[in-house]
Amino acid sequence: MIKAAIFGASGYTGLELLRILANHPDAKVVEATSRQYKGTPVPEVFPALRGFYDGLLFSDPEDLGSVKADVAFSAMPHGASQDVVPELLKKNRVIDLSADFRLHDRETYNAWYGEHKAAHLLSEAVYGLPELYRKDIKGARLVANPGCYPTSAILALAPLAKKGLIKAGSVIIDSKSGVSGAGRGASLATSFVEASSGFKAYKVGSHRHTPEIEQELAVAAGGQLNVRFTPHLIPVSRGILTTAYAELNTALSNQEMRDIYIDAYSKERFVRLLPDGSFPDISQVRGSNFCDIGLFIEGSRVTIVSAIDNLVKGASGKAVQNMNIMFGLDEKAALFTPPLSI
């Protein structure tokens, strides 16, 4: 039985980790930390988890030395995770759900997030997108769990990038996210009254997931593919719908394009390529670890639409998928369940 610790367990990604791991056949949560709720029983903070964690109290995240686990999930905010990960790595394999170890280049990280205090680990961290880096994840000591927007965008575009088909400078990524993507902390912008009837773009041209998307598409393509990325906030609790547009170096038929995606994802249990003419809906991946993808091509112009649950495939579900790979478990364990379709 794999012993798991969750640091920052009282946020939405921490809650999702607790929910998913509650039914894992080969893993058990032995530690869940929260500064705000230390000493409080987990079900008192999350009543939905009654009967699953009745004997587990939130502990103090400062007590790093007392953690006895095989794997530590760091669900702490950007900047805070890098304070604890080096210490955790002395005893645990670590899956970090923040952005602290996703970018390989220190200067790029500093430009978008501020000074990195554990930059020596950037070169060691494996980018935790199983569909692209499964072999590297398996032997990793530190896995950097990808962001939610990048997951939806990279899975949509990587098959074409790997074939060298995308014309540089042509990629436009339009993404819409549910409010839970902003986290569990109180905020006027994401409060019910402000968000319930709104639909807006934010951080246009300046969202911090942009360099992460560019980094991974460049790796796939073997050369730089700058993107224009615009995120939007939509009045739903969870889900991301990404529409990616690109110009190809050559015209493809519809079947030629489909064949590229079939070749890339036919063996992937959590990527579902939709039938020709069908496109994803976030309601059809809700609560699941699936990424649904729909395709359209007109000559050399392509449109790829992807849908994920931002808290599952976009965060905690993918983190558990990474844990399963790291420890040689069934990759589908605790994850292969139908979406909540209504």
Tens digits of pLDDT across the chain (342 residues): 999 999 999 999 999 999 999 999 999 999 999 999 999 999 999 999 999 999 999 998 887 667 789 999 999 988 889 999 999 999 999 999 999 999 999 999 999 999 999 999 999 999 999 999 999 999 999 999 999 999 999 999 999 999 999 999 999 999 999 987 766 665 666 666 666 778 889 999 999 999 999 999 999 999 999 999 999 999 998 999 999 999 999 999 999 999 999 999 999 999 999 999 999 999 999 999 999 999 999 999 999 999 999 999 999 999 999 999 999 999 999 999 999 977
Phi, psi torsion values for 3, nearest 5 degrees: -90, 125
pLDDT attached to residue 180: 79
- Checking DSSP bridges between strand 200-201 and strand 142-144, what pairing results, if any? unpaired
Distance, in Å, from the CA atom of 158 to the CA atom of 88, rounded to the nearest integer, reads 32
The angle that helices 130-138 and 317-326 make with each other, rounded to 10 degrees, is 40
Same domain, 106 and 194: no
Same domain, 97 and 161: no
Distance, in Å, from the CA atom of 74 to the CA atom of 128, rounded to the nearest integer, reads 14
Q: How many domains does the chain have?
A: 2
Same domain, 108 and 194: no
CATH number of the domain at 297, please.
3.30.360.10
Same domain, 100 and 176: no
Same domain, 302 and 177: yes
Same domain, 168 and 266: yes
Same domain, 298 and 195: yes
Same domain, 119 and 197: no
Does a structural domain hold residue 330?
no
- Checking DSSP bridges between strand 71-74 and strand 2-7, what pairing results, if any? parallel
Tell me the H-state helices in the chain: 12-21, 42-45, 81-88, 106-113, 130-138, 148-162, 192-195, 210-221, 254-265, 317-326
pLDDT attached to residue 183: 64
CATH number of the domain at 65, please.
3.40.50.720
Same domain, 157 and 303: yes
Does a structural domain hold residue 329?
no
Q: What is the DSSP letter of 281?
A: -
Does a structural domain hold residue 333?
no
Same domain, 160 and 227: yes
Same domain, 118 and 258: no
- Checking DSSP bridges between strand 240-247 and strand 301-308, what pairing results, if any? antiparallel
pLDDT attached to residue 282: 97
pLDDT attached to residue 190: 67
Which of the listed residues 75, 91, 124 is the one where a domain comes to its end? 124
pLDDT attached to residue 61: 83
Does a structural domain hold residue 193?
yes
pLDDT attached to residue 170: 97
Q: Which domain holds residue 237?
A: 148-310
Does a structural domain hold residue 322?
no
Does a structural domain hold residue 321?
no
pTM score, two decimals?
0.95
Same domain, 35 and 99: yes
pLDDT attached to residue 186: 54
Which of the listed residues 91, 124, 157 is the one where a domain comes to its end? 124
pLDDT attached to residue 303: 98
Does a structural domain hold residue 93?
yes
Does a structural domain hold residue 169?
yes
Active site residues: 148
Which of the listed residues 124, 158, 191 is the one where a domain comes to its end? 124
